[in-house]
Amino acid sequence: MAHRTFSLANHHPRLRFDRREVLRALRWLEAHAAEVRVPQPAFLEGELSLVFLTDVALAQLHASFLDDPTITDVITFEGNPSLGTAGEVCVSADAALRQIGIDPARGTKSRAARRLSVAQQRLFSAEVTLYLVHGWLHLAGYDDLQPMKKRAMRRAEARAMRILRTGPAGIPQFTLA
């Protein structure tokens, strides 16, 4: 297997995370790709780009590249092995907030109102990580457009999240400023 490189870009104005922690989790996940049952291990080569965005920015990508202007949680772009790219995973941190029951616009006026409780923080970090895993699985060959394939992807997501939770890398911590 060729050496994997990662590119991380945070374009969400409030999202904060330790880049080393995210990379450590991704490397741990990739080291255990066989346990996740990755159907296309060749995707583990080349640069993998991860981008964190707002709902608005991800909806613009959704409209531009997939002709669908609706808000979504993750968009995955396939790479080009001949150019040394594995693909790009674009994640909406706002979608993760909504999924745990928090309005992304909440708390823009006061610093105290922006803080998440410890339980919310844990859920938020797990949800953002799940979106990264979901995009990673798309690049690995999983699809979720048909019910049977969607069930297979959900099982792979569960395996990947279990690998992260029980491994030394753990679930990366994502916070809001």
Q: Is 144 annotated as a binding residue?
A: yes
Q: How far is CA 155 from CA 148, 151, 162, in A?
A: 11, 6, 11
Q: Is 94 annotated as a binding residue?
A: no
- How far is Cα 45 from Cα 133, in angstroms, rounded to an integer? 17
Which residues 6+ apart lie within 8 Å of 63 measured at CB? 69
Contact 40, 140 (CB under 8 A): yes
Residue numbers belonging to the annotated binding site = 134, 138, 144
- As annotated, the binding site for Zn(2+) includes 134, 138, 144
